[in-house]
Amino acid sequence: MVPELQKATVRIQQPERVMGIIRSLREQGMNKLQVISDFDMTLSRFGCNGRRCPTSHNILDNSRVISEDGKKKLKDLLHYYYPIEIDPNRTPAEKCPLMVEWWTKAHELLSQQKIQKGDIAQIVRESDVMLRDGFNELFDQLHKYNVPLFIFSAGVGDILEEIIRQANVFYSNVNVVSNYMDFDDNGVLMCFKGPLIHTYNKNNSVLQGTEYFQQLSARTSIILLGDSMGDLTMADGVPSVENILKIGFLNDKVEEQRGKYLDAYDIVLESDETLDVVNGILRYIL
Ligand code: TMP
Ligand code: MG
């Protein structure tokens, strides 16, 4: 059915159930399908040649527009809060207030740096960000078959939009909900627009009023792509889900997190920097 599922990076707890879902997705066809995806470390790469790739926040943090003092403070926040974000021994409910703290502090620091809207494109161009191998095929296929792609990101919307624009894949079927910057009349960053999206509130609570999923109520087949345990709730606002396939990229602390990921995601991709499996499944379905 899908030869890519034989890759060494693929782990599946219930293979028969997964094959059943994939068969149903194919039977329902492309007109019923929508893809809901996280951005950072899911559509973008986690690492390359042993080096970490930046998140949309990191792209700003590492850029020339941030002062040395600002860089240090942002790095300190990352070193304190990131281990909490991925700690398999804490529940999402325990992590939630700490993530609000992290995002709030980081956005305050960024808002003090007089970042100019007009500098964003250059900042992204000069960064080390990379989309996962196979991103072209993924975006092109979804566009070709008119399958909606909803990118639900706790990153920085202005940055991630610029990344996919520069990659020439920001097609009309792509919709983004994320944290967007609010600039003053001179194009200088003042603050971030609400509601704040962090790793563990990616659910209906921040989508109220966007009506996105209501318009797509006939799209009852879903492929969900994520890399964090917080990404699992991204489809909660879809009114009538008939088939959902959850694919999780397990990037970091693989051994420690394997059990939880296998319980929660239908397909787990361990240290796999490609979109091969997603593309293989789409090739079979579309
Ligand atoms: P995502 O929802 O698109 O994956 O984006 C969230 C990621 O951003 C999450 O893994 C943590 C990361 N992050 C930073 O790298 N730096 C920051 O300052 C903040 C607030 C988040
Ligand atoms: Mg992510």
Best probe residue, ligand 1, of 40, 41, 73 (max atoms within 8 Å of C-beta): 40
pLDDT attached to residue 21: 98
- The reply to whether ligand 1 has any atom less than 6 angstroms from the CB of 81 is no
- The reply to whether ligand 1 has any atom less than 6 angstroms from the CB of 158 is no
206 pLDDT band (50/70/90 cuts)?
A: very high
Taking the CA of 228 as reference, the closest ligand is 2
DSSP state of 127: S
pLDDT over threshold 90, residue 93: yes
- The reply to whether ligand 1 has any atom less than 6 angstroms from the CB of 201 is no
Q: What percentage of the chain carries pLDDT values higher than 90? A: 99
pLDDT attached to residue 210: 80
209 pLDDT band (50/70/90 cuts)?
A: confident
CA triplet 88, 94, 98: central angle to 5 degrees? Answer: 100
211 pLDDT band (50/70/90 cuts)?
A: confident
Q: Atom 13 (ligand 1): residue with closest C-alpha?
A: 57
Ligand 2 centroid vs 130 CA: distance in angstroms?
Answer: 14
pLDDT in tens, 56-74: 999 999 999 999 999 999 9
ipTM here: 0.98
Q: Atom 9 (ligand 1): residue with closest C-alpha?
A: 199
d(CA 181, CA 191): 6
pLDDT in tens, 160-204: 999 999 999 999 999 999 999 999 999 999 999 999 999 999 999
Ligand 1 centroid vs 60 CA: distance in angstroms?
Answer: 12
pLDDT in tens, 263-283: 999 999 999 999 999 999 999
Query: Rounded to two decimals, what is the model's pTM?
Result: 0.98
- The reply to whether ligand 1 has any atom less than 6 angstroms from the CB of 40 is yes
40 is catalytic: yes
Q: Which amino acid is at 190?
A: M
CA distances from 269 to 225, 246, 261 (A): 11, 11, 10
Place of tokens 């707890």: 13
140 pLDDT band (50/70/90 cuts)?
A: very high
CA distances from 84 to 79, 81, 89, 132, 215 (A): 9, 5, 9, 25, 36
Which segment of 32-46, 199-213, 244-258 scores lowest on mean pLDDT?
199-213
pLDDT over threshold 80, residue 107: yes
156 pLDDT band (50/70/90 cuts)?
A: very high
Ligand 2 centroid vs 211 CA: distance in angstroms?
Answer: 23
| Average pLDDT score, the chain | 97
Ligand 1 centroid vs 118 CA: distance in angstroms?
Answer: 23
Please give the structure tokens belonging to residue 275.
């979109």
Choosing from 40, 158, 227, 272, the catalytic residue is 40
- The reply to whether ligand 1 has any atom less than 6 angstroms from the CB of 39 is yes
Ligand 2 centroid vs 37 CA: distance in angstroms?
Answer: 9
> What is the mean predicted confidence (pLDDT) over 140-154?
98
pLDDT attached to residue 208: 81
pLDDT over threshold 80, residue 123: yes
